[in-house]
Amino acid sequence: MARVPSHKWAFKPGMRAGAFGWRGSAKAVERLKAASSEIRAVNRADPVLAAEGVVALAERIWPAFEHIDTSSGSLGGAVGRTLADLVPVLIAAPADEPTRAGWLERLRQTILDDGVDYLAPIADRFGEIAAYPALMTLHADRDLDLIRAAWSDWEHFSHVTTATLTLSCLLEAGRHDELLALLAVKKSRLWFDEKFAAKALLRQGQEDAALARAASLLESDRQPWGCHEISRFCEAILMRQGRGDEAYRRFGLPTAAGNTWLAMWRDLVKRYPDRDARTLLEDLIALHGRRGKWFAAAKTARYLDIALDCAADDEAAPATLIRAARDFVVKEPAFAAEVALHAIRHLLAGRGYEASPLDIDEAITHLMAASRRINATAWAVDQLSRLASRGGRDDLMAKRLRLKLGELQGVYAGED
């Protein structure tokens, strides 16, 4: 067995057992980032040593994080991202078979000891980490009978911690029929197991069968665990078959991902660069509704006609519209003026979070600044007069509008 060079890892002292308390999530995420940076830096000069660092980090994650409150999900997400970044380092390391065998034994025990499945990214790719066919076979066979017995007993649920790594090894060893037969005895069908079956079918050239197996998990009224990953898998098959429009309609458009409406559009544009970006935005709005919520996305994408349509919707936030009016006064004054008017309409209707009469003042300021740039101050005052004559549900806002209108009529009297 080749000896891995000794190295004093800086991350180890900070990742000792019991290092973090109940509120230690933020600090733990910082330590993970530092460890990942250190390992990736070492990888540039010594890939085998870096892989040893990945194993050492994996061994420390559960003991160090055991007592942290994980209810927010932020720590679990950080661990998942860190390991997803580092597992390729472990796979690619040019280690000999005895060295890799030692890593696998350590990782297997770490997975068994893991209290909350932090190491799922490692279990998912255990067969790839094994690298050598003999090691894949060794770890595929070790718990195979135990898993088959546990899954065959439909009366009692039995969880086998090493099931995922076993499936991964069966897949990478090319034992596809055994893998499919093993999953056939399992009562429940969930993607964290089924993905191995779908990949096995794909590797056997059975693309339609793989697509059908994965897509069937999306047929429930409830979104299954891993729905986005399932959709991406199906989408990729259809794209590879030249069925791009079907891929987009069935799996791409419904699973546009992001923390904001704008991020969802950008995700779709990135994945479908050959499609018209404006049409993608229109498709998203049509699918999800809530047109007012899409104002910022349309405005940022510079589809100002769509943005104006969104601004008129009841769900458009007055504060967002006012900021947009301010930002576009110089570069798109006609747009800014219309947006400011929509903001005023919404304020008069009683919409907006913690709105105040000062919002009316600011919207009018931007409206008049924009209208002056397009020689339309008389039009702007007329529009405000029409709004004031209609009144509104919010008497305070309506009174403020009438007061400001009186001031404007004195200033702009006689202007065209």
Q: Which of 243, 273, 303 is the last residue of a domain?
A: 303
In a domain, 401, yes or no: yes
What does the pLDDT look like over 10-37, one tens digit per residue?
999 999 999 999 999 999 999 999 999 9
Q: What residues contact 318, with CB distance under 8 A and at least 6 apart?
A: 343, 346, 347, 351, 352, 355, 359, 363
pLDDT above 80 (res 383): yes
| Residues 298 and 328 occupy one common structural domain | no
pLDDT above 90 (res 267): yes
Half-sphere exposure of 85 (CA within 13 A, CB side): 17
As a whole-number percent, the residues of the chain with pLDDT over 70 amount to 96
What DSSP string runs through 115-140?
Answer: SS-TTHHHHHTHHHHH-SHHHHHHHH
Q: What residues contact 42, with CB distance under 8 A and at least 6 apart?
A: 7, 49, 50, 53
For the chain, the average pLDDT equals 93
| Residues 292 and 339 occupy one common structural domain | no
Q: For residue 222, give Cα distances in angstroms to 218, 219, 230, 234.
A: 8, 8, 14, 18
Q: Are 385 and 352 in contact (CB under 8 A)?
A: no
| Residues 405 and 321 occupy one common structural domain | yes
Q: Which of 241, 275, 303 is the last residue of a domain?
A: 303
In a domain, 329, yes or no: yes
Considering its fold, how many domains does the chain have in total? Answer: 2
Q: Which residue has the tokens 């899409």?
A: 294
What does the pLDDT look like over 386-395, one tens digit per residue?
998 876 666 8
Q: Are 164 and 183 in contact (CB under 8 A)?
A: no
DSSP assignment letter at 316: S
Q: Which of 303, 335, 369 is the last residue of a domain?
A: 303
| Phi–psi pair at 3, nearest 5 degrees | -85, 130
In a domain, 18, yes or no: no
Q: Are 108 and 139 in contact (CB under 8 A)?
A: yes
As given in the structure block, the two tokens for residue 132 are: 């050598």
| Residues 291 and 375 occupy one common structural domain | no
What does the pLDDT look like over 308-322, one tens digit per residue?
999 999 999 999 999
Task: Give residue 358's domain range.
Answer: 317-409
| Residues 396 and 352 occupy one common structural domain | yes
In a domain, 386, yes or no: yes
Average pLDDT over residues 284-307: 95
What pLDDT is recorded for position 75? 95
Average pLDDT over residues 149-170: 92
What pLDDT is recorded for position 391? 66
pLDDT above 90 (res 286): yes
Looking at 69-73, 404-408, 410-414, which range is the least confident one? 410-414
Average pLDDT over residues 88-101: 98
In a domain, 288, yes or no: yes
In a domain, 343, yes or no: yes
What pLDDT is recorded for position 84? 97
From the list 72, 58, 44, the residue with the least C-alpha distance to 15 is 58
pLDDT above 70 (res 98): yes
| Residues 291 and 269 occupy one common structural domain | yes
| Residues 322 and 296 occupy one common structural domain | no
What pLDDT is recorded for position 3? 57
| Residues 298 and 375 occupy one common structural domain | no
DSSP assignment letter at 243: -
In a domain, 19, yes or no: no
In a domain, 377, yes or no: yes
pLDDT above 90 (res 283): yes
| Phi–psi pair at 4, nearest 5 degrees | -80, 130
| Residues 327 and 285 occupy one common structural domain | no
Q: What residues contact 23, with CB distance under 8 A and at least 6 apart?
A: 68, 69
| Residues 330 and 358 occupy one common structural domain | yes
Average pLDDT over residues 130-141: 98
| Residues 279 and 342 occupy one common structural domain | no
Residue type, 112: L
What pLDDT is recorded for position 396? 85
What pLDDT is recorded for position 416? 47
What DSSP string runs through 360-401?
Answer: HHHHHHHHHHHHHHTT-HHHHHHHHHHHHHH--S-HHHHHHH
What pLDDT is recorded for position 205? 96
What pLDDT is recorded for position 2? 54
| Structure confidence at residue 1 as a pLDDT band (50, 70, 90) | low
What pLDDT is recorded for position 394? 60
Average pLDDT over residues 147-152: 94
**Gyration radius of the chain over CA positions:** 29
| Residues 280 and 332 occupy one common structural domain | no
| Structure confidence at residue 4 as a pLDDT band (50, 70, 90) | low
Chain-centroid distance of CA 55 in Å reads: 27
Average pLDDT over residues 83-95: 98
pLDDT above 60 (res 415): no
**Number of Cβ atoms within 10 Å of the Cβ of 326:** 18
